[in-house]
Structure 1
Amino acid sequence: MSLAVNPRFIPPAASTFVFDPDLVAEGRRESVPRYGDPIWSVLALTQNPSAPDDCIRWHWFSGTFRETFRFAAWTLVNHPLADQELARHGIAMRAKLSAGRIMRTVHQWSIFAAWLDERGITRLADLDTEGLADFAFYLAKTRGLSRNTASGHLTGLSRLHYYGRSFLPPSDRLVEPPWVAEGMDDYLPAASPLGGENSTEPITPATMGPLLVWALRFVEDYAEDILAAHDERRRLLNAADAADGPLLPDSGDALEAFLEGLEAEGLPVPVAARRGNPLAGAGIYLAAVTGTPRSKVRQVMRKPHWRTYTAQNHGPCHLGTPVNATLDAEPWHEPFTFDGIDKMVRHLATACFIVLSYLTGMRSGEILGLASGCCPDPEGPPAEAGRHLIYGRVFKIATDEYGNHDSAGVVREAPWVAVPQVVTSVRVLERLGGDGLLFAAEVHDKRQPERRSGRSLQLSTLNERIERFIEWVNTHAENRERESEMIPQDTHGRIGAGRFRRTLAWHIARRPGGLVALAVQYGHMRTLVSEGYGSRSRGGIHDLLDFETARSVAEHLSEVHEAIQDGEGISGPAARRLIHSAAQEHHRFGGIITSVRQARSLLADPNLNVFENKDTFLFCNYDRAKALCHPGRSGKYEAPSLDRCKLNCANIARTDTHARQLREAADSLVRQASSGLAPEPLADRMQERAQGLSELADQHDRKRVLAGMEGHL
C-alpha cells in the first residue's frame, strides 16, 4: 500500500500506513503503524539491531494540538527537509532524522504543545517570536534543562518551522524562531562543565575489580558447565516435542512406570516451581524423560494418587550434566535444574557483555551489533598467527551519501583488537546464538515481541541484567562464606552498560603499569589500544583516553603544586622541572579538565607531560630524549613506559609524600620477612628490597629542595 500524496496540506486517511511498508523487511511489516493509531512504533524505521522500541504516543498531546502535530510528525517521517532551507539558513541539522530522534523530537513538541495549552494558545500561527523566546526561557529557568537538552528542544522547533512552510496548512505554521537569525547562545542556559561520554562517571575500582573477576570466572571457568546443561535442556525440549502426537491407549504407560519406580524407592517427583506452586510446570520435563505426550502427562498427574504423592514428595528437575568447575576445590554450583538453567545462561551472556565492554572499549551499541563470525581465528601456524581482531559496525557516526544518519551502520575501517578473554567471550556467545547476532533477542530473551525478531537485546534489558548478575554473585558469595569477594555498590549508582567504556579509559590513563582489575595487564592493554585505535580520530576510544590521561595529569600536578606551597620538598634530577610544571598547570587549568579540547591542549605541551608511577613512588617528567624506558629513544615513543622505570633516569622526581610511602613499603616488607611465615630465600629478598626502598627515602631527605630553592638545583 503506497503513501498518500499530500499536495494541498491535507492529512492522510486514518487507515494509511505512516510510512511505506515496502521499505521495511518483510517480517516486520506488521509493525508499521497506521496514521490514526494511538501509538506509532518507529522501530521498523531503523536497521540498528540494538535500537529500542521507541513509540510516539498521541496521548502526549491534548485534543487541541493532537492532529496538528500528528500531521507534522507524518511529514517528519516521510519527507526530508528542503535543501534550500538547509543551505539558506546554514543550520546544523540533517535533512532526515533517525528513528530515535524522530520520537524524541515529537516528544519535545509535546512539551511545547502543553506550554501553549497553559497559555490558552490554540493555533501555532498565533504565536509570535517573543512567545518563542519566552518558551526558551521556560526551558532554561522553569524546567531547568541542561544546555544540550534545551538546544535539542529549540532545534526541534526550528525544524517544525521549516516543515510548516513546506507541508503544513497556514494555521499550523510556526513563525521563524528568533534563534534562527540571532543564534542560540542567548536563548540557552549556561554550558555544563561536561557533556556526552565525558560526563559519565567511571565505575570505582572497588566495584569494577570484583565485577570483572566474577565475569571472567563465568566466561573462562563456568561456561562449559552452563553450556552443557543448556544443551541438555534443549535436547529435553526437542524430546518433548517429538513425544507429542495422537493419544493411544498405552500413551501414559511409561510415565506411570516412571512414577511407580519413584514411589517404590521413596524418591521425589521432579517438579518445576512456578509462581510459588511447587506442582506446576513439570510437564515438559516428564514428557521428555518418559516419551509421553504432554497432554497425557497432564492427565496422569491429575490422578488423585499421584497428586497426593507429588504434594508430599517433590523435588527439583535435575539435569544430568555434571558440574566440573570448582571454587576452592568445591563444585562452584549445585546440580543444574531444568527450570533454573535459563537464568544461568542469562548470567553467562551478561558476563560476556561485561568482558567485551570493559576489555575492548567498544560502545554498547557496537557490541550488540556484532554477529557470529566477527572474530575469526588468525590464519597461519599458531606461532606465527597475529592477534585476534573483531570486525563490526559503528552506528553513532554512520551517515549515507547525503550526510543523513545511516541506521544500518557502517563497517568499522579498523577492526578492534581482542585479548584472549574477549575471544573466549565471543566463542561462548557464538555457541549460544548460532549464526545470527551474538546478543540476538530471540536467543537471549524469548519473551521479546515478534517485532524484535532479527534484532538484539536492548540496552535497558542489559542494564537490568547487569544488576541481576551482581545480585546473584553477592548472594552466591555470601552463601559460600566468601563475603570478601562480594561486589560492593558503586558510589555513583547503578552499573549502566555505557560506563564500562569510560572505566576502561580511566584505568588505562591512570594505571598504565598495573593490572586491569586483577586480570589483564594495563600496560598490555595500552599497547593493544594504541594499535587498535591510535590512528583514528573518530569512532574509537581515542578521545576518552586523551581526556582521562589529561585529567590524571592535571589532578596530580595541581596536588603537587598545592603540596609545594605547603612546604613539600622535591628531589631528583627532574625536581626543578616538576616544580615549574606544577605551577604552570595550576595557573592554566587549576587541576580541572572539562573538555577534550583542553585535554589535547595539555597533552600537547611537553612541559606538562608528567605521569605518576605509584609502583615505584615517583613522578616521570617525560622527556623523550632523556628517557631510559625506551633505550632507542626513537620518535615513535610519545609516552613513557612506566613499567620500565630506571632509577638513574633523568626524568625522575620525588616528593615528600613518595618518601613517606617508600618508608611505609619498607616497613611492611620487614614485617613480612620477620614474621617467620616466608621461606628464608624470600625473606632475604624482602629484607634486601626494604633496604633499597629505605635508601631511596634517605636519599630524598638529603637532596630535597623547596620551591624557593629550585635555582640551586
Structure 2
Amino acid sequence: MPAQCRLDCDFPWAGQTAKEVVGAPAGTGRENKTPRIADDTMEALLAWVLVMIEEVGPDIRDAWHEYQQLEAGNHHSQARYTGTREERLREYLSYCRGHGFALPGHEGGDVNYGHIKRLIGIPKAHRQELTVPMLGLLADSGLPIAPFTGIGLITGQIHGRPWREHPITIGELPTLVRLLSAALFTAVCYLSGMRPGEVLNLRRGCRDADEKTGELLVHGFRGKGFDRVPDQPDVSEPLRPWVVVDVVHAAIALLEELHDLPLLFPSSLIQAHDQRPATVNARTGRAMNDDIQNLISWINSAYRRADSSAPIPADPAGRINATRYRRTLARFIVRKPRGLIAAALQYGHVHTKVTLSYAGYADPSWLHDIAVEKLELIIDHVEQDSQRLADGEHVSGPSADEYRARVERTASFEGRVVTSVGSVERLLEQMDPAIYHGQGMTCVWRAATAACRLAKLALGLPDDDAPDESECRSACANLAYTDRDIEDVQRRRERYWADAADPLAPKPRRDRAAAQATQLSGIIDRHHMQGVPGAAERTA
C-alpha cells in the first residue's frame, strides 16, 4: 500500500479504551447479566424434557431407526420382496390385501408412491417414476388410501394415554428427531451445569461412574481457558469429569441409541451441510437455541393444560437459550427444595468434589453463580427472621439466645457493592449466620456441638462443615424452635396421634407413634414455656 494508505501498527489513543475515548462510563464488566429462567417456565420445561426422555423419545428413536433401515434397504420386512419392481409391487399389494392394510398416503388423499418404493426395497438409484403398468396395479388394487404415511408404533404414554393418536408420519419424523435432540441437550446442559459449548462437544462413550463412590460422571472438554485449542481440545488438556444425576446418563444413552456418529450432538442428523459434515462437526449454539425454542413451541401447540393454558408458560425475560440454563441451575440448587440445609449439603458436596479436584482439573466456575445465589438467600432469610422477631415470634431450644444474637448481628448489615466473585465469597463469609431452617426445627450451626457431625465422625464418615438433617438428633445443642417450626411439629404430632389410635395398625407401630407424639408434645410445651426471651432462665 502507498504510505498514505497504511495503518499505524501502534495502539491508538495512547492506550485508552474505546469507552475512555468517548467519555462513557467504564463499568466493571464483572456482573453476570444473564437472566435466570423463571421458576414456572423452567420447571415446566424440565418436566416435559423428562417426558421426552422416558415416553416420547423411545418412540421417535424406534421410528427413526425403522425409517433409516427402510431407506437403506435392510429392514426385515423388505426380505419378502424380490424380483423386478413390478413383481415387488404385486407382492406388496397382495400382502396389504391379506392383512387389511391401506396404502400409505398424503394429507391431500394421494398415494405416497415414494414410500411404497421404499417399503418394497427398491434401491435409491432405481426409485424413478413408476411405470404405467405399476400405476395401473395400484389403481386396480381396490385398497383404501391412508390419510398419512405412518412409521413405527406409539408405546409411550402421558397421564395414562398415548402421547399421540396415530403413528409418526414420514414428513414430521425429521423435525421430531431434531426436537428430541434439543430435549436431550436441555437435560444434559441444565442438570450438569456444563456450558452449552461443552455439552455440544461431548463424544460418544462419555458416560462413566466413580468406582469408589458410585457417583455418575460425564467426561468432556472444558469450554474456557487461555491454553484451550477449540478445534483440537485434546491437544491442550485431557478429558475432565462432571458429576451428574441419572437423568443425564439416561439422556446420553438415548442419544447414543439415536445415531452412530462420534459426537452426541452432530451438526445435523438429517442433512448436514457439505462444509460442516456431521462426522466431525457439532451443532452450533445458535442452531441449538432455535431447536430449543421450536421444542417449546411444539409442546405448547400439541398439548394443553386442564385450564387450556400453555404447558410451558412464556418466560418474562424473553427467549429461552442454552446460556441461561447454567445461570438458572445455581438458583435452583440454592433455593430448592429445603432452603439453606439443602443448599449447604449440595454446595458442600460439589465444593468437596472441586477441592479434591478429581485429577486436578475440575472446573469450579459455575459455583460462582451458586455463591451469589446463596448470598441472596441468606440476606432474604435474615430479613424475614429479623422481621418475625420484631413482630414477637417466640424462639425456644438450647440455641434460642444464639439464634436471636446472630439474626440481630446480621440484620444490621445495610448492603455493599459487589464487583467480583472474590467480593461475593468474602461477603458470604462475613454475612453467613449459619442458621439453617429445616423441617420442624432450626439449626444454629456450631461444628463443635453438632450432634449430626459427631454421629458421622463416630461412623468414620467425612466431616462436613454443614448440618445433615438426615442425622439430626433431638438432643443436639444447636437446635432452636421458632413459631414456624412449632406449627410444623404440631401437624406431625397430630399425624402420630392418629397413627397411635389406628385400631388396624399393629401394636408395636401404635406404641412407636404414641412415643413420637409424646416426644413432640414435650418440644411444644417447652416452646410455650421458653418462647419469650429470658423465660427459659427463669424456669431453670
State which of 223, 230, 234 in structure 2 corresponds to 1:395. 223
* Residue in structure 2 matched with residue 200 of structure 1 by the alignment: 35
Aligned: 1:234 with 2:68 = yes
Aligned: 1:286 with 2:116 = yes
Shift of 1:649: 1.9
Q: CA separation in 2, counterparts of 1:391 and 1:601?
A: 32
Shift of 1:638: 2.3
Paired amino acid for 2:479: I
* Residue in structure 2 matched with residue 427 of structure 1 by the alignment: 253
Paired amino acid for 2:36: E
Task: Please say if residues 585 and 591 of structure 1, whose CA atoms lie closer than 8 Å, have aligned partners that are also in contact.
Answer: no
Change in 2 beyond 3 A, CA 1:601/1:522: closer
Q: CA separation in 2, counterparts of 1:346 and 1:477?
A: 19
* Residue in structure 1 matched with residue 398 of structure 2 by the alignment: 573
Shift of 1:324: 4.3
Shift of 1:232: 0.9
Residue 416 of structure 1 aligns to a residue whose secondary structure is: strand
Change in 2 beyond 3 A, CA 1:576/1:674: closer
Q: CA separation in 2, counterparts of 1:269 and 1:545?
A: 57
Aligned: 1:188 with 2:31 = no
TM-score, normalised with respect to structure 1: 0.60
Shift of 1:494: 4.0
Aligned: 1:318 with 2:150 = yes
Aligned residues: 516
Q: CA separation in 2, counterparts of 1:504 and 1:252?
A: 59
Q: CA separation in 2, counterparts of 1:476 and 1:581?
A: 53
Spell out the pairing of 1:249-264 with structure 2 (5 A cutoff).
Answer: 251-255=85-89, 258-259=92-93
State which of 2, 22, 46 in structure 2 corresponds to 1:212. 46
Shift of 1:456: 1.7
Task: Please say if residues 622 and 639 of structure 1, whose CA atoms lie closer than 8 Å, have aligned partners that are also in contact.
Answer: yes
Task: Please say if residues 105 and 145 of structure 2, whose CA atoms lie closer than 8 Å, have aligned partners that are also in contact.
Answer: no
State which of 445, 461, 465 in structure 1 corresponds to 2:291. 465
Aligned: 1:544 with 2:369 = yes
Q: CA separation in 2, counterparts of 1:475 and 1:177?
A: 55
* Residue in structure 1 matched with residue 468 of structure 2 by the alignment: 641
Spell out the pairing of 1:309-388 with structure 2 (5 A cutoff).
Answer: 313-319=145-151, 321-327=152-158, 331-333=162-164, 334-376=166-208, 386-388=214-216
Change in 2 beyond 3 A, CA 1:610/1:584: same
Task: Please say if residues 236 and 285 of structure 1, whose CA atoms lie closer than 8 Å, have aligned partners that are also in contact.
Answer: no
- After superposition, the CA RMSD in angstroms is 4.8
Paired amino acid for 1:461: A
Q: CA separation in 2, counterparts of 1:685 and 1:495?
A: 51
Superposed CA offset, 1:583-608 (max 9, x none): 33333355997853343124323862
* Residue in structure 2 matched with residue 94 of structure 1 by the alignment: none
Residue 629 of structure 1 aligns to a residue whose secondary structure is: helix
Q: CA separation in 1, counterparts of 2:281 and 2:366?
A: 25
* Residue in structure 2 matched with residue 271 of structure 1 by the alignment: 105
5+ residue gaps in structure 2? Answer: 76-82
Spell out the pairing of 1:115-126 with structure 2 (5 A cutoff).
Answer: none
Residue 197 of structure 2 aligns to a residue whose secondary structure is: helix
Task: Please say if residues 617 and 658 of structure 1, whose CA atoms lie closer than 8 Å, have aligned partners that are also in contact.
Answer: yes
Task: Please say if residues 570 and 704 of structure 1, whose CA atoms lie closer than 8 Å, have aligned partners that are also in contact.
Answer: yes
Superposed CA offset, 1:442-485 (max 9, x none): 32x52656346532222233333333334444556549x79899
* Residue in structure 2 matched with residue 450 of structure 1 by the alignment: 275
Spell out the pairing of 1:625-704 with structure 2 (5 A cutoff).
Answer: 625-631=448-454, 632=456, 636-663=463-490, 669=495, 680=505, 696-704=523-531
Change in 2 beyond 3 A, CA 1:663/1:527: same
Residue 391 of structure 1 aligns to a residue whose secondary structure is: strand
Change in 2 beyond 3 A, CA 1:175/1:291: same
Q: CA separation in 1, counterparts of 2:516 and 2:325?
A: 37
Paired amino acid for 1:604: E
TM-score, normalised with respect to structure 2: 0.76
* Residue in structure 2 matched with residue 497 of structure 1 by the alignment: 322
Superposed CA offset, 1:278-303 (max 9, x none): 548x3442112123466445556995
Spell out the pairing of 1:460-539 with structure 2 (5 A cutoff).
Answer: 460-474=286-300, 478=304, 486-511=311-336, 529-535=350-356, 539=364
Superposed CA offset, 1:556-579 (max 9, x none): 012211222233332222222222
Paired amino acid for 1:618: M
Paired amino acid for 2:25: L
Q: CA separation in 2, counterparts of 1:411 and 1:500?
A: 25
Task: Please say if residues 369 and 456 of structure 1, whose CA atoms lie closer than 8 Å, have aligned partners that are also in contact.
Answer: yes
Shift of 1:238: 0.8
Residue 73 of structure 2 aligns to a residue whose secondary structure is: helix
Residue 447 of structure 2 aligns to a residue whose secondary structure is: coil
Residue 442 of structure 2 aligns to a residue whose secondary structure is: strand
Change in 2 beyond 3 A, CA 1:183/1:501: same
Paired amino acid for 1:533: V
Aligned: 1:557 with 2:382 = yes
Which structure has more RCO (C-alpha within 8 Å, separation ≥ 6)?
A: 2
Q: CA separation in 2, counterparts of 1:316 and 1:496?
A: 34
Change in 2 beyond 3 A, CA 1:692/1:332: farther
Percent identity for Structure 1 against Structure 2: 23
Q: CA separation in 2, counterparts of 1:523 and 1:307?
A: 72
Residue 196 of structure 1 aligns to a residue whose secondary structure is: coil
Change in 2 beyond 3 A, CA 1:351/1:531: farther
Q: CA separation in 2, counterparts of 1:177 and 1:303?
A: 78
Shift of 1:639: 2.1
* Residue in structure 1 matched with residue 80 of structure 2 by the alignment: none
Paired amino acid for 2:413: R
Q: CA separation in 1, counterparts of 2:375 and 2:396?
A: 24
Residue 89 of structure 2 aligns to a residue whose secondary structure is: helix
Residue 474 of structure 2 aligns to a residue whose secondary structure is: coil
Shift of 1:190: 5.9
5+ residue gaps in structure 1? Answer: 1-5, 12-163, 168-172, 242-248, 515-520
Task: Please say if residues 416 and 532 of structure 1, whose CA atoms lie closer than 8 Å, have aligned partners that are also in contact.
Answer: no
Q: CA separation in 2, counterparts of 1:375 and 1:571?
A: 49
Task: Please say if residues 557 and 581 of structure 1, whose CA atoms lie closer than 8 Å, have aligned partners that are also in contact.
Answer: no
Change in 2 beyond 3 A, CA 1:606/1:594: closer
Spell out the pairing of 1:394-413 with structure 2 (5 A cutoff).
Answer: 394-399=222-227, 408-409=232-233, 410-411=236-237
Shift of 1:440: 0.6
* Residue in structure 1 matched with residue 424 of structure 2 by the alignment: 599
Paired amino acid for 2:354: Y
Residue 147 of structure 2 aligns to a residue whose secondary structure is: strand
